[in-house]
Amino acid sequence: MTTLTSSSRDQDKVHRVLLGKKQFLVTEDEPLLPQLERAGLHIEYQCREGYCSSCSIRLLWGHVDYPFEPLAWVQSGFLLACCAIVKTDIEIAFFSDDSAE
Ligand code: FES
């Protein structure tokens, strides 16, 4: 399933998010979490403001940025979906998909 979640203005930057065999298109207009939710994915969350780390998702490759420094600890190789802005194509995995660690 592919979802474009925002208008395609010239200044919008659109990136691919790979999750297993699925691919989503997201923009830099808002954090990853609401865009994945609109695409039909259920993501664990509590605060949605970078405090709790319950929205932590494995980042297998690619780059995200944060418009503010999250208070929650961001473990290396993970992202906080509620406040991460996707800056390149990325590949993510949920904990249940993670058999490497
Ligand atoms: S939901 Fe709390 S840090 Fe993302």
Is 34's C-beta closer than 6 angstroms to any atom of ligand 1?
no
Matching CATH number, 14-97, of 1.10.3720.10, 3.30.720.200, 3.40.30.10, 3.10.20.30: 3.10.20.30
33 Cα–ligand 1 center, Å: 9
Structure confidence at residue 96 (pLDDT):
55
Structure confidence at residue 94 (pLDDT):
87
Structure confidence at residue 100 (pLDDT):
42
Cα dihedral sign, 29-59-3-52: negative
Lookup result for tokens 């949605």: 48
Structure confidence at residue 12 (pLDDT):
72
Q: Would you give the DSSP letter of residue 81?
A: T
Domain boundaries, the chain: 14-97
Is 80's C-beta closer than 6 angstroms to any atom of ligand 1?
yes
Structure confidence at residue 56 (pLDDT):
96
Q: Largest Cα–Cα distance of the chain, in whole Å? A: 40
Structure confidence at residue 99 (pLDDT):
42
Rounded to whole angstroms, how far apart are CA atoms 73 and 79? 10
Stretch (H or E) spanning 36: helix 32-38
Per-residue pLDDT of the chain (101 residues; tens, 9 = 90+): 444 544 445 457 999 999 999 999 999 999 999 999 999 999 999 999 999 999 999 999 999 999 999 999 999 999 999 999 999 999 999 865 444 44
Atom of ligand 1 nearest to the CA of 83: 4
Structure confidence at residue 53 (pLDDT):
95
